């Protein structure tokens, strides 16, 4: 599922080699949480527990985009909160298009119709999904399933590319739901990325409540690995085989080095940046003001956090890429 142009891939390759041989942060990928607002409170997410910051002013957004330009990234991953709630969503996507940066988003699908014209400009929408309608409503609350269904139908009608992202919690880590998700992706000729629940800051207590048992995770991941290795059923699985192997050890991952702060970092809704916002401690103690700081000093100060590890596809693929695992070229096509 590659939407990068040859020129963007060339830039990516150059950046990669610079990163490989430099001690300073050289981001190939960047996630920008463009708003902290979200009307959901999904069981495993800490967004509603964090201090909500009012959306930035347009002049602050402009300062951020000017700095992003200097980073020469090929792709910008736009997230939140719910990114479709940001008043600057259209401005940011058009900025990307005007500067040949490939824009992709993570979204719950809510507010899709209201943002349709902008959504048509995206290279990819990654819809978050947990399972069937009943399960979606349990995990995400309210009318989550209905909003997602409507968004999927509209995306399909308007030929907007989309894929699915499933957070593996105790609610969906079973073969029935996994096969439901794979069938759904196959039906829409797309893929699902499976990412285990992560213990995150201010949701530590709820982690035990919503995490599956290790044996359930192993069963599901083994099932995915078998399907991934079969030429007839691998197409709907976004994870690489190496990535799935890494997930077998959940929740105590092996020692694959983390690429946060080295190959990617995250710009937060308040205009600060951190290496990663998904750790189990307050990363904000290390946050750097992205709007006002000089870019060189941001890159020099950025440090890979101490973290128990994770199963996020983007991090795993960058880590495997960094260590020249055999799927490097395949990974370059999909980098997010
Ligand atoms: C934080 S949301 C932001 C974008 C949008 N609101 C959405 O739900 O897609 C991005 C992704 O993070 C996932 N996520 C949230 N909390 C998580 C956790 N504790 N562990 C793993 N993934 C998590 C969500 O399921 C979603 O796919
Ligand atoms: S996962 Fe997304 S939709 Fe759910 S609470 Fe977090 S930010 Fe909101
Ligand atoms: S291992 Fe790295 S990328 Fe993954 S959650 Fe921890 S800090 Fe973030």
What is the predicted pLDDT for the residue at 328?
Answer: 47
- Integer angstrom CA distances of residue 236 from 184, 192, 202, 246: 9, 6, 33, 19
- Report the alpha-carbon distance of residue 198 to residue 251 in Å, rounded: 9
Question: 90-104 pLDDT, tens per residue?
Answer: 999 999 999 999 999
- Nearest-Å Rg of the Cα atoms of the chain is 19
**Binding-site residues, ligand 2, Cβ < 6 A:** 38, 40-42, 45, 47-48, 80-82, 108, 128, 140
Compute the distance from residue 313 Cα to the ligand 1 centre, in Å.
Answer: 13
- Looking at ligand 3, which residue's alpha carbon is closest to its atom 2? 258
Region 127-138 average pLDDT: 97
Ligand 3 atom at shortest distance from the alpha carbon of 307 = 6
Quickly name the fold that domain 6-335 has.
TIM Barrel (3.20.20)
What is the predicted pLDDT for the residue at 320?
Answer: 87
Flag whether the pTM goes above 0.85.
yes
- Looking at ligand 3, which residue's alpha carbon is closest to its atom 8? 276
CB burial of 204-227 (b: ≥16 within 10 Å; e: otherwise) equals eebbeebbbeeebbbbbbebbbeb
Q: Which ligand has the shortest distance to the CA of 36? A: 2
Say if residue 336's pLDDT is above 70. no
What is the predicted pLDDT for the residue at 333?
Answer: 55
Domain boundaries, the chain: 6-335
Question: 317-331 pLDDT, tens per residue?
Answer: 888 888 866 454 555
Substitution site in 39, 41, 45, 138 for ligand 2 pocket (most atoms within 8 Å of beta carbon):
45
Q: Which two tokens stand for residue 2?
A: 């590659």
Compute the distance from residue 276 Cα to the ligand 3 centre, in Å.
Answer: 6
Compute the distance from residue 245 Cα to the ligand 2 centre, in Å.
Answer: 27
- Looking at ligand 2, which residue's alpha carbon is closest to its atom 6? 45
Q: Which ligand has the shortest distance to the CA of 203? A: 1
Question: 27-85 pLDDT, tens per residue?
Answer: 989 999 999 999 999 999 999 999 889 999 999 999 999 999 999 999 999 999 999 99
Substitution site in 312, 313, 318, 321 for ligand 3 pocket (most atoms within 8 Å of beta carbon):
312
Substitution site in 31, 32, 37, 40 for ligand 2 pocket (most atoms within 8 Å of beta carbon):
40
- Report the alpha-carbon distance of residue 212 to residue 217 in Å, rounded: 7
> Mean pLDDT in the chain?
92
What is the predicted pLDDT for the residue at 327?
Answer: 56
């Amino acid at each position: 599922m590659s939407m990068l142009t040859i020129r963007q891939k060339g830039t990516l390759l150059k950046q990669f080699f610079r990163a490989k041989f430099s001690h300073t942060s050289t981001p190939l990928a960047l996630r920008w949480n463009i708003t902290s607002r979200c009307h959901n409170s999904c069981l495993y997410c800490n967004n509603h527990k964090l201090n909500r910051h009012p959306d930035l002013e347009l002049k602050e957004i402009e300062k951020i985009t000017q700095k992003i330009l200097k980073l020469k990234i090929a792709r910008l991953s736009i997230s939140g909160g719910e990114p479709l709630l940001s008043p600057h969503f259209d401005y940011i996507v058009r900025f990307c298009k005007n500067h040949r940066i490939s824009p992709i988003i993570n979204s719950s699908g809510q507010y899709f119709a209201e943002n349709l014209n902008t959504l048509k400009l995206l290279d990819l929408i990654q819809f978050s999904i947990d399972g069937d309608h009943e399960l979606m409503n349990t995990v995400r609350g309210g009318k989550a399933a209905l909003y997602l269904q409507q968004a999927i139908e509209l995306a399909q009608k308007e030929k907007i590319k989309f894929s699915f992202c499933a957070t593996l919690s105790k609610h969906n880590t079973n073969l029935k739901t996994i096969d439901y998700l794979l069938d759904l992706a196959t039906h829409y000729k797309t893929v699902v990325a499976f990412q285990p629940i992560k213990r995150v800051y201010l949701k530590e207590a709820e982690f035990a409540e919503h995490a599956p048992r290790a044996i359930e995770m192993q069963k599901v991941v083994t099932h995915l690995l078998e399907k991934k290795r079969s030429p007839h059923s691998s197409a709907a699985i976004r994870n690489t085989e190496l990535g799935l192997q890494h997930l077998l050890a959940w929740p105590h991952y092996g020692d694959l080095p983390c690429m946060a702060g080295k190959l990617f970092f995250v710009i937060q809704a308040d205009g600060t940046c951190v290496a990663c916002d998904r750790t189990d401690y307050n990363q904000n103690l290390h946050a750097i003001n992205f709007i006002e700081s000089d870019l060189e000093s941001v890159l020099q100060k950025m440090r890979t956090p101490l973290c128990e590890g994770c199963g996020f596809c983007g991090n795993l693929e960058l880590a495997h890429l960094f260590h020249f695992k055999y799927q490097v070229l395949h990974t370059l096509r999909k980098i997010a």
